[in-house]
Amino acid sequence: MSLFTDETESVEESPGRFRGRISGNWSVNGNPNGGYLMGIMVDAALRKSEKKRTPIVTANFISRGTPGTAQIVVEKISHSRQFQRFQVSLFQEGEEKVRALATFSAEKENCPDERYETGPAPLPSRDRCVSLPDLTAYGLFRQVELLLDPSCAGWLQKRLSERSENRGWMRLRDDHPYDIASILLVADALPPGILASRGMVAWVPTIELSVSIRNMPKSRWLNCSLRTRFVTCGLLEADGEVWDEKGNLVAISRQIAQVRTG
């Protein structure tokens, strides 16, 4: 069993009610990564769902989670021939921290209708990319390896860009086999794109994150990008894409977050 599997699994104590534990191994500045929290919640929901494919998950982050015990409540909303929908809530000490809607689809043996009008970000080879420095407070990057495109990594040396985008190669360090929960983590693991244009702002807390998983990757390394185009009254959007090395679209995401500068 991998560390990620061990730290996303929960125990069903009564029908639809699970007990899990949030680990500090997937945190940034002590705050558990939002995709990791979604992974915990979706792992519980999958155990109540008959359909296991290509989920669409939208999570609202109500208040900050912390490492420690958590309760996950899974409620089925609807069931059709093709889809099952669930509401999933994560609680700590009786306070709801995250609420998500998760839609799972039925398995399809073939999918002839597939069309991409764009493609993966044009990344340089991994040996030309930039590794993150040893950031003690970023436990997430002891578990996830990230190699940034040099063209958007200037913020690490206080060289800022006019374009609010981060992109690079990413993989799980322990070679955990990709599954739905780990793709949710990857979709939220890039540093915020706003860092490229504003530097190390104090905090970019997520308000809402929606991830649509399209395919399971066929490579260990993934091509990931995260772009912000609009900041309005301290709110930003961040659009993300995850591709594998075979050119298959793995996931797309849309995040709404705050910009809190020190």
Which has more pLDDT, 40 or 203? 40
Query: What CATH class does 3-107+125-258 carry?
Result: mainly beta
Distances (CA, A) of 131 to 33, 98, 127, 134: 20, 31, 10, 9
The residue ranges of every structural domain in the chain are: 3-107+125-258
On the question of pLDDT at 108 being above 60, the answer is yes
Q: In the prediction, which pLDDT does 260 show?
A: 85
Q: What letter represents residue 244's amino acid? A: D
Which DSSP string corresponds to 35-53?
HHHHHHHHHHHHTT-S--E
Q: 104-112 — which CB contacts under 8 Å span 24+ positions?
A: 104/45, 104/46, 104/49, 104/51, 104/52, 104/53, 104/54, 104/55, 105/51, 105/53, 105/54, 105/55, 106/51, 106/53, 106/81, 106/82, 107/51, 107/52, 107/53, 108/53
Reduced to 3 states (helix: H, G, I; strand: E, B; else coil), residue 197 is helix
Cβ atoms of 223 and 246 closer than 8 Å:
no
Looking at the chain, the whole-number percentage of residues with pLDDT higher than 90 is: 82
- Chain centroid to Cα 85, Å, comes to 20
Model pTM score? 0.94
Tell me: the pLDDT tens digits for 132-177?
887 656 789 999 999 999 999 999 988 999 999 999 999 999 878 9
> Which of the four pLDDT bands, split at 50, 70 and 90, describes residue 109?
low
pLDDT, average across residues 237-245 = 98
Please give the mean pLDDT across all residues of the chain: 93
Which helix (H) or strand (E) segment holds residue 196: the answer is: helix 194-198
Cβ atoms of 153 and 163 closer than 8 Å:
no
Q: In the prediction, which pLDDT does 138 show?
A: 75
Tell me: the pLDDT tens digits for 189-233?
999 999 999 998 878 999 999 999 999 999 999 999 999 999 999
Q: In the prediction, which pLDDT does 261 show?
A: 79
Q: In the prediction, which pLDDT does 30 show?
A: 86
Question: What is the pairing mode between strands 31-32 and 27-28?
Answer: antiparallel
pLDDT, average across residues 75-100 = 96
